[in-house]
A and B are shown apart, each in its own frame.
Chain A
Amino acid sequence: MVQVTEKWTNDRPGDAGYEDRLAAFEARVAEGDKVEPGDWMPRDYRDQLIRLIHVHANSEICGALPEGTWIPHAPSLKRKLALVAKVQDEVGHGQLLYRAAETLGKPREEMIDELISGKAKYSNVFHYPAETWADVCVIAWLIDAAAIVNQAMMAEGSYGPYARALKRICYEEAFHLTHGYDMCISMATGTPVQRAMLQDAVNRWWKPIMMFHGPSDKESKHTAQLMRWRIKLKTNDEQRQEFLRKYLPKMFNLGLKVPAEWNLRFDEKSKTWLYNEPDWEEFKTVVRGSGPVSAKRLETRRLAHEQGRWVREALSAAAAGKKVPLPPTANVG
């Protein structure tokens, strides 16, 4: 609960006492003990967590955009209400996650500015447009499902504020997943128009979904350390397999097909799903801000932020006790 703490000292390799503190820290974390703000932690632990939580928060905020666009078009009252609630939750998750990252010393405004400037990243999936109502259904079901695999795992992580935020997020994601699956069942068992719309959405979203959990960890320089410090408890491939094992049968059960070029097939021996490896260079290009709508997402965030500036400034002024009466020439008819 204490704000950013003062003691970011002796926390780098080579600092006095670093090795001993690190050993004690790693022993504690290995036992499943949690790390709280104000605990000594290696600088690298803090920096990696800030980066990771920041990206997660950005993803929630940007994730609100493709689905938010469809709120006015939701085709039933229940779906309309549920979609507003879902997107609201995502904004709320962003708030919770920025707060968690703040406990490690990075101000929220700075994180928001870095998102808008393009300096900070967000999940690959939100660099793509939601083109039809069926996209909303696929996002709510399959992308939330992929995210839950990740978040349920991360909720057992070592950093207290992040783990606590994730527990609440996972609870709300259960509604998102249920709502998403419910919509997909309606579409898949509905009219020819609905069934075709859903399959078309799956065709367009399958690549971003397959890439959601990130490249194989052999290629990631961060993974080993993240796992040792229990920031991450499963590899990207493990998460992807978990997702495929659970959701592919459900998709096939609804009569949905995965695009043929993936050559997706289940290997009985290894009990894993095999597929043609995607182009991970494309993934990197997308998350660096060159996806189909990356620039539009940032411009949307920038505009929303700018348009709202007068509100934030006014509330700050009001809190500071300033009052500026209107000049007598104000238009009052």
Chain B
Amino acid sequence: MDTQWPIFEVFHQASRGEPHVHVGAVHAPDGETAIMLAKEQYGRRQACVNMWVVPSGAIVATAYEDADLFEHGTDKSYREAFGYETTKRAKAVGDAGEI
């Protein structure tokens, strides 16, 4: 096996102002070759103004069994607008306008 090259994850930015989005991965010997190859494998149809490639090994990730790290144990709607009845209360004190 002569070329089990490292894997580079590919990210696209569809247009200026948009975030970069993960679209897939390529095998390549180095970053600039990865860009050159990814441009065609992932960019020949999708609109793209900018592309990143990142070595897979550089990505630090959580484990799926730790998905519970992101779960809420108690009600945290106090930090959301939808967690309030202020519209009703403001109307009751004479303000029917937008909050």
Contacts and interface: CB of A to CB of B under 8 A. Distances in A.
Contact of A107 (B4, B64, B65): B4
Interface string A106-118: 0111100100000
Interface in B1-55: 1-5, 7, 9, 22, 24-27, 29-30, 33, 41, 45
B99 interface: no
B65 A312 contact: no
B86 interface: no
Contacts of A99: 7, 24-25
Contacts of B9: 1
A92 B4 CA distance: 18
A92 B41 contact: yes
Interface residues of A, number: 26
B56 interface: yes
Interface of A: 1-3, 36, 38-40, 92, 95-96, 99, 102, 107-110, 113, 168, 172, 309, 312-313, 315-316, 318-319
Chain B interface secondary structure, helix, strand, loop or mixed? mixed
Given A99-B7, A313-B2, 6 more contacts: A1-B25, A1-B61, A36-B64, A109-B1, A109-B2, A319-B30
Contacts of A318: 29-30
A309 B3 CA distance: 9
Contacts, number: 57
8 contacts: A1-B61, A3-B56, A36-B64, A113-B1, A316-B3, A318-B30, A319-B30, A319-B33
B57 interface: yes
Interface of B: 1-5, 7, 9, 22, 24-27, 29-30, 33, 41, 45, 56-57, 59, 61, 63-65
B59 A109 contact: no
Nearest to B45: A172
Contacts of B5: 316, 319
